[in-house]
Amino acid sequence: MGKFEVLDHPLIQHKLTIIRNRDTGTKVFREVVNEISTLMAYEVSRDMPLEDVEVTTPIEKTVKKQLAGKKVAIVPILRAGLGMVDGFLNLIPAAKVGHIGMYRDEESLQPVEYFVKMPADIDQRQIFVVDPMLATGGSAIMAIDALKQRGAHSFKFMCLVAAPEGVKALQKAHPEVDIYTAALDEKLNEDGYIMPGLGDAGDRLFGTK
């Protein structure tokens, strides 16, 4: 079973409370999602492998560390996942970005895929799938299915708010995937929204409601 971690650094908790607040407008919401994503990228990259490299300082030659292992791809689930990309790229600027478009049917709550565009070497990359909300888990599960169909096999999933139902479903469908969230909330309501959550992440990020 992959990891399940709540990244509850005090700065992350503080910033998450700001975006939960219904009075927080689009501009601040977007800025703070970006900041939280950078903090989360710092945490989830802790176990990145290193290798020795020779470096010549102004004083002498020495052997120190540099990142090794697979190259990284960030895959936001559209739309709301887009809000997490720049924060991540602040720390891993050379990462490639794949996009996967998916929306939840409002009646059935089932995800509908409408767009997939991945880097050509996606099968060789460490993939960070990002989406602020893990509610029923349907979107994350279908996104990882779509990536697996394209040969990808190394995943971490990052969200801001998760519902227990979504964590369970994602772990069942893709048990090897590491899941990182800034908060594990109480439950889903009858409309499939996370309680207390932060509302509709896409609408709050893009000002569409």
Is 22 strand, coil or helix? Answer: coil
Size, binding site for ligand PRP by CB under 6 A: 23
203 close to 29: Cβ distance less than 8 angstroms: no
Is 168 strand, coil or helix? Answer: helix
Token pair for 87: 């924060």
183 close to 2: Cβ distance less than 8 angstroms: no
d(CA 162, CA 112): 20
Nearer to ligand URA, 31 or 200 (CB): 200
Contact track, ligand URA, 178-207, x by CB under 6 A: --------------xxx--x--xxx-----
d(CA 195, CA 135): 10
- State the nearest-atom distance from the C-beta of 208 to ligand URA, in Å: 11
Note the residues at the interface with ligand URA (CB under 6 A).
80, 133, 135, 192-194, 197, 200-202
Indicate the annotated binding residues for 5-phospho-alpha-D-ribose 1-diphosphate: 79, 104, 131-139, 200
Note the residues at the interface with ligand PRP (CB under 6 A).
77-80, 103-104, 109, 111, 131-140, 166, 192, 200-202
